[in-house]
A and B are shown apart, each in its own frame.
Chain A
Amino acid sequence: GIQVEQSPPDLILQEGANSTLRCNFSDSVNNLQWFHQNPWGQLINLFYIPSGTKQNGRLSATTVATERYSLLYISSSQTTDSGVYFCAVETKYNFNKFYFGSGTKLNVKP
């Protein structure tokens, strides 16, 4: 199946700092989503972004499908941004099945 690699695996930031999380994938995708997993385990949908750029408040994401990567930007980070961020992709050859990266664990310190 498709390989999904996220970097960095761990990130420690001071509150107010900016960060960029990366997701590389090894094949063409039909769907790409970024999720934030809260301390209770729920995956919160941040962006549905198979291509292009989207922004939502302090968060934005860019997917360059032709080069097989996506970036998640977090600006002016807050302690509530802490948690694990996952990238998940769905390929054109295997609908309705997400392949997840291993996640980036973010710790924002006050």
Chain B
Amino acid sequence: KAGVTQTPRYLIKTRGQQVTLSCSPISGHRSVSWYQQTPGQGLQFLFEYFSETQRNKGNFPGRFSGRQFSNSRSEMNVSTLELGDSALYLCASAEEGGWTNYGYTFGSGTRLTVV
């Protein structure tokens, strides 16, 4: 099976712009989660989608949003970028919310730099 695919791998944006990141889960996985990793805050949960519905959300401002399509692919969007949004954004997929014998599988991430 192909793994979790995130595109693009690297991205440089200017403060004030918006950005869209994409995540294609493992075939058959319907749960997709997003995490932000920064040196100061570590790994923090953004949101989780299952069958096109957001089931859980972390403590991020409304500038961070996401969606999931009928084929389980997910996108996250950050509007009005700030310098502090520079981070590695990781996507994870699971068969059924994670409580299986296999848990979550992560993609390689998108490294976003805001200048």
Contact = CB atoms under 8 A, between A and B. Distances in A.
Interface of A: 30-31, 33, 35, 40-45, 48, 86, 88, 90, 94-100, 102-103
Given A96-B50, A96-B98, A102-B42, A42 B103 contact: no
Interface SS majority for chain B: strand
B90 A43 contact: yes
B42 A100 contact: yes
A43 B35 CA distance: 11
A41 to B, nearest CB: 5
B43 A41 contact: no
Interface residues of B, number: 30
A48 B101 contact: yes
Given A96-B31, A98-B35, A100-B43, A41 B111 contact: yes
Given A45-B104, A48-B100, 20 more contacts: A31-B103, A35-B106, A41-B88, A43-B90, A43-B92, A43-B106, A45-B105, A48-B101, A48-B102, A86-B43, A90-B99, A94-B56, A95-B55, A96-B56, A96-B98, A97-B45, A97-B48, A98-B43, A98-B104, A103-B42
